[in-house]
């Protein structure tokens, strides 16, 4: 009987990890990161549509910084909190140049892969409290990354649409907002 319970627990743990990995990869109800940011026109990366609180650059950098911070907290026993809110947002409305935009994209992707690797590692106890935290677990931090990313990717998509820079998909009736 004990073996059956252990097998079921291991199988449930693997299923949970796979669900988390799918969520982190935006598989399901959301567009993924690369689909939203692909070929964003250079001249619009620092443009704020009327009524929008942020530019695409500000949202991209916020996504990158926040995800890095959560990953750092999850892995680093010497983690130091960023100053809120200033530490989580860029100081400029636009990227200084194309290379900085691309560097931010690469860093975001690398940190997302690192979080996925942490979740996928069977040695990672998803339910154990992070020793230097106040009750957080890797499960909670992975869900936080997925939730935060989905929220701001939706904002980025809306900005693209407002900027007229989102090509409608085949069969999509244009702007659609």
Confidence at residue 14, expressed as pLDDT on a 0 to 100 scale: 92
Q: For residues 20 and 146, what is the distance between their CA atoms, to the nearest angstrom? A: 8
Predicted local confidence at residue 31, as pLDDT: 82
Q: What's residue 173's pLDDT?
A: 47
Residue with tokens 């990717």: 153
Q: pLDDT averaged over the chain? A: 91
Please provide the distance, in angstroms rounded to a whole number, between the alpha carbons at the two ends of the chain.
56
Q: Confidence class of residue 93 from pLDDT cuts 50, 70 and 90? A: very high
- 119 Cα distance to chain centroid: 14
Q: What is the pLDDT of residue 177?
A: 38
Does the structure show a pLDDT above 50 at 176? no
Percent of the chain with pLDDT over 70: 88
Is residue 148 within 8 Å of residue 67, measured between CB atoms? yes
Q: Where do the domains of the chain lie?
A: 56-164
pLDDT at position 21 is: 96
pTM across the whole model = 0.88
Q: Name the residue among 137, 61, 147 with its Cα closest to residue 104.
A: 61
The whole-number pLDDT of residue 167 equals 75
Do residues 30 and 153 touch, judged by C-beta distance below 8 A?
A: yes
Does 5 have pLDDT greater than 60? no
């Amino acid at each position: 009987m004990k073996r059956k319970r252990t097998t079921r627990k291991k199988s449930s743990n693997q299923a949970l990890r796979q669900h988390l990995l799918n969520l982190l990869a935006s598989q399901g109800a959301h567009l993924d990161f690369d689909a939203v940011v692909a070929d964003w026109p250079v001249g619009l990366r620092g443009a704020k549509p009327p009524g929008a609180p942020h530019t695409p650059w500000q949202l991209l950098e916020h996504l990158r910084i926040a995800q890095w911070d959560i990953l750092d907290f999850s892995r680093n026993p010497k983690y130091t909190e960023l100053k809120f809110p200033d530490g989580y947002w860029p100081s400029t409305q636009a990227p200084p140049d194309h290379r900085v935009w691309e560097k931010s994209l690469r860093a975001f992707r690398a940190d997302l892969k690192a979080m996925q690797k942490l979740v996928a590692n069977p040695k990672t106890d998803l339910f154990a409290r992070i020793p230097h935290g106040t009750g957080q677990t890797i499960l909670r931090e992975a869900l936080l990354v997925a939730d935060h990313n989905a929220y701001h990717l939706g904002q980025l998509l809306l900005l693209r649409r407002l900027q007229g820079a989102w090509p409608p998909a085949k069969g999509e009736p244009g702007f659609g907002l």
